[in-house]
Amino acid sequence: MKFKEVIGQEKARQRLKQMVQEGRLPHAILLYGKPGVGKMALATAFASYLLGDLDAEEIHDSDPLKLRNEPSEKAAAMLKTWEHPDLFFSFPTIKLPGMSADHKPVSDDFMKEWRLMLGKDVYFTMQQWMDALGATTQQAIITAGESDALNRKLSFTSSQGGYKVVIMWMPERMNTECANKLLKLLEEPPTKTLFLLVAEEPEKLLETILSRTQRIEVKNIDTMSLQNALVAKRGLTEQDASRIARLANGSWQNALEALDSDNENKMFFDMFVSLMRLAYQRKMMELKKWSEKAAGMGREKQKRMLTYFMHMVRESFMFNFNMPELNFMTSEEEDFAKNFAKFINEANVMELTELLQKNIRDIGQNANAKIVFFEMTLQIIISLNRK
């Protein structure tokens, strides 16, 4: 993975390179931003850059990495399959049925699946990772066993004589014990070791961990870069690419989903339409059935559905202002909003948003899903009648 393969994010790319060229590379960097903006792409490209997989134009006279002994061809060969001995990955895992009761799952248990995922595309979602693990209702976490494993690996010197790089994906999913152990590693980092934390919800990390990282917010991908990538990577016409790039709202994953007519958001849209119609009509028995259907999904999927519902509430509210440039909806969503938007107003938009945010937290904390969703339907009945 090279920097030139990252979609957009020119400022973030240059900032990372500049740290190296000026000899002021910190021991821990936090890359954070929304899903689909390319945080993992930047992390893997930067790791490849540090470990020697460089194009000729990336080597500057002022670049201290130019002096490394490892040939670029050798590094490129190892990084092609993500098996460089000085590159370590850490990510959320689940406990499989065959694991012993006292086993704490670690990334090494799933490294084959992880490398296969990275080999397909460095732009991937948590759901795609959960599918690769064969997870159903489990919530993936990073256990205390992970920090112990990292501690052991990093106690050895670099096998290639350069940096050791740790990429931790979704560090906000560390449990408390793991977070405290990682903090100790960050407080006394091994020599020439870089931690790259790739997060979507950095506010969930310990403040003491945040304080020991240099934070880089990865912004939405600019529309033109998305458009160019859709033309180059997916063979779209300029016109189709322009339409989808705008709809994607800065996310490569959103752009790909927009190309898939049978995507998850279509199901979420149908669930949202059904919920709002049933709530407006106060059909309690049907709402109970709707709640049971929603409760039957895995918790990760439930949280994504509620996040989509927040998107629809926001877009429906903005639709009332008759400013198309502020709306980001598919044609199907927009057709629904034409009649539905009048029910989302200043009196209930924040109430509905806070309700959905609360339910995402409750689901994440293993609350009873049937109760959460049925109570939510009752609150929506009340909110839709606020004027």
Question: Which residues lie below 8 Å from residue 248, measured CB to CB, with a gap of 6+?
Answer: 36, 221, 226, 254, 255, 258
Of 5-19, 82-96, 145-159, 343-357, least confident by mean pLDDT is: 145-159
**Over residues 232-254, mean pLDDT:** 89
Q: Where are the beta strands (DSSP E) in the chain?
A: 28-32, 87-90, 164-169, 193-199, 214-217
Q: What rounded mean pLDDT belongs to the chain?
A: 89
Above 80 in pLDDT, residue 2? yes
Question: Which of the four pLDDT bands, split at 50, 70 and 90, describes residue 285?
Answer: very high
**Over residues 98-118, mean pLDDT:** 90
Between residues 4 and 329, the one the model is more confident about = 4
pLDDT in the model for residue 353: 96
pLDDT in tens, 74-90: 778 888 899 999 999 99
pLDDT in the model for residue 69: 41
Q: Could you give the maximum distance between any two Cα atoms of the chain, in Å?
A: 72
pLDDT in the model for residue 224: 96
Percentage of the chain modeled with pLDDT above 70: 94
pLDDT in the model for residue 261: 56
**Whats the size of the chain, residue-wise?**
387
DSSP reduced 3-state for 91: coil
Q: What six digits make up the tokens of 265?
A: 């958001």
pLDDT in the model for residue 22: 85
pLDDT in the model for residue 174: 93
pLDDT in the model for residue 64: 54
pLDDT in the model for residue 54: 63
The residues pairing with 194 across neighbouring beta strands, listed in sequence order, are 165
Of 98-112, 131-145, 175-189, least confident by mean pLDDT is: 131-145
pLDDT in tens, 369-383: 999 999 999 999 999
pLDDT in the model for residue 71: 45
Above 60 in pLDDT, residue 57? no
